[in-house]
Amino acid sequence: MGARIPERRYGVVGIAVNGARSSGITKFVRRYGIIDRLAAILLLPIILVLLISIYPVALMLQGRPFLFRSERMMTPKRSFYLLKIRTMHACSTSNCAVVGGDQLHRVTKFGHILRRSRLDELPQIFNVLLGHIGFIGPRPPQRKYVEAFPEIYSKVLRARPGITGLATVIFHRHETQMLRRCLSVEETDEVYRRRCIPMKAKLDSLYLERRSIGLNMFILARTGWHVFHSLWPDLQFGGGVMTHLGLRGSRSGG
The 10s digit of each residue's pLDDT in 22-63 is 455 455 555 557 889 999 999 999 999 999 999 999 999 999
> What's the rounded Cα separation, in Å, for the pair 16 and 212?
9
pLDDT, tens digit, 9 for 90 and up, residues 66-85: 999 999 999 999 999 999 99
Give the strand pairing for 134-136 and 162-164. parallel
**Can the peptide bond before residue 65 be classed as cis, meaning omega within 30 degrees of 0?**
yes
CA distance 189 to 177: 14
For residue 112, count other CB atoms closer than 10 A to its CB: 12
Q: Which residue has the higher pLDDT, 160 or 227?
A: 160
pLDDT value at residue 233 = 60
pTM above 0.75, yes or no: yes
- Give me the residues paired with residue 67 across strands: 85
pLDDT of residue 14: 52
What is the β-pairing status of strands 7-10 and 15-18? antiparallel
Sorted by where each begins, the domain ranges of the chain are 33-230
What are phi and psi for residue 73, nearest 5 degrees? -110, 130
Mean pLDDT across the stretch 117-144? Answer: 94
Helix (H) or strand (E) holding 155: helix 150-156
Q: Give me the pLDDT at residue 133, please.
A: 95
| Per-residue pLDDT tens over the stretch 150-203 | 999 999 999 899 999 999 999 988 898 899 898 888 999 999 999 999 999 999
User: CB within 8 A of 12, min separation 6: which ones?
Assistant: 35, 36, 39, 134, 135, 136, 216, 220
C-alpha distances in Å from residue 20, one per residue of 7, 17, 107, 209: 9, 9, 50, 20
State the Cα–Cα distance between residues 80 and 23, nearest whole angstrom. 27
Whether 188 contacts 182, CB under 8 Å? yes
Report the distance separating Cα 215 and Cα 207, nearest Å: 8
Query: Which pLDDT does position 172 carry in this prediction?
Result: 86
